[in-house]
Chains A and B, each alone.
Chain A
Amino acid sequence: MACAQNEYREKTPHSTMIHGIIGNERHSKTTMNEITEEALILEGAGTDSTAQALEAATFYILNNPKVTARLKEELSNAIPDPHKIPPLPELKEIKYLVDFLFAVLSDLANFSRQL
């Protein structure tokens, strides 16, 4: 089991849900069907929620010229060469971008609550 787990880790450098289940003693009795169900739920949830956030962000950017201009300005300052995108920790330092994303997520959450 441990050997197979190491082999899998070599193929996938990041930690995955499968690692979390297989490598945890508490889940030693987890069945293949249960893992499959969890994987499918995460797959569906991760796909739709993130895509909805991207759709909303696209709409806000296209619908608000002021936001578009400010975002362009901030991103141009933070990323002088568009072919060299900084790593995530640096992207998180772009305050206007982060505020914009939080505003989008907040609006999405409010919208869902009203349904």
Chain B
Amino acid sequence: MYKNLFALRSIYQFEPQIKTNVDKLCALFKAKAGENEPINVSHAYRVLTSDTITSYIGLAPNPLLEDENLGEAYRKYARIVTQSSVLVRHFPPLAYFRLLPGWFVTRLSSDFGILKNHLDVSLQTIFVGFTDGISD
């Protein structure tokens, strides 16, 4: 499954997208350089890598680098999505939250509300057009 994913050829082909993302981050650093305010590089790097890996895997890109608040963007999309999906992995019945209405899930847990939105909006678009042969 991952043979092509980690092949050097695949990474070379993806180079323009990596450069675009790095340029965006450098532009953010430049803009902040004159403001005399510290930058949380931990958030900045995670937003960069999240944007890059998301596109590389083939998920619908949701460019966090274009968000004004990198810390909030990272918290919402990278940390919460990762933590919540690990919970679902270990407790499979939790996966049924996806069948519930978004507003209801958000009332129960804001984290799972964010995960549901991520799955509904970002992930499902990748299956549009070639869902034949893939079962639910």
Residues of chain A contacted by B11 (CB below 8 angstroms): 88
Interface string of B1-31 (1 = CB under 8 A from A): 1111101011111110101000000000000
Number of residues from B at the complex interface, CB < 8 A:
49
Chain B, range 52-104, C-beta contacts under 8 Å to A: 52-54, 56-59, 78, 81-82, 85-86, 88-89, 95
Contact A31 B135 (CB under 8 A): yes
Residues of chain B contacted by A48 (CB below 8 angstroms): 46, 49, 78, 82
Query: Is A64 on the interface with B (CB-CB < 8 A)?
Result: no
Chain A, range 16-59, C-beta contacts under 8 Å to B: 16-22, 24, 27-33, 35-44, 46-48, 50-51, 54-55, 58
Interface string of B119-136 (1 = CB under 8 A from A): 100010011011111111
Query: Is B42 on the interface with A (CB-CB < 8 A)?
Result: yes
Contact stretch, chosen from A6-14, A73-81, A95-103, A107-115? A6-14
Contact A20 B46 (CB under 8 A): no
Residues of chain A contacted by B1 (CB below 8 angstroms): 17, 20-21, 24, 27, 38
Distance of A32 from chain B, by nearest CB (Å): 5
Determine the distance from Cα of A54 to Cα of B53 in the docked complex, in whole angstroms: 14
Contact B82 A39 (CB under 8 A): no
Query: Is B48 on the interface with A (CB-CB < 8 A)?
Result: yes
Query: Is A87 on the interface with B (CB-CB < 8 A)?
Result: yes
Contact A87 B4 (CB under 8 A): no
Residues of chain A contacted by B119 (CB below 8 angstroms): 36
Contact B12 A42 (CB under 8 A): no
B4, B14, B49, B129: the one contacting A47 at CB < 8 Å is B49
Determine the distance from Cα of A54 to Cα of B45 in the docked complex, in whole angstroms: 7
A35, A42, A87: the one contacting B15 at CB < 8 Å is A87
Residues of chain B contacted by A31 (CB below 8 angstroms): 134-136
- Please name 19 pairs of A and B residues whose Cβ atoms are closer than 8 Å in the assembled complex, sorted by A: A14-B10, A15-B4, A16-B5, A17-B58, A19-B58, A20-B1, A20-B3, A29-B135, A30-B134, A33-B136, A37-B88, A39-B57, A43-B54, A44-B85, A46-B56, A47-B50, A48-B78, A50-B53, A89-B12
The 6 closest A-B pairs by CB, nearest first: A16-B58, A4-B130, A46-B53, A44-B82, A18-B58, A14-B13
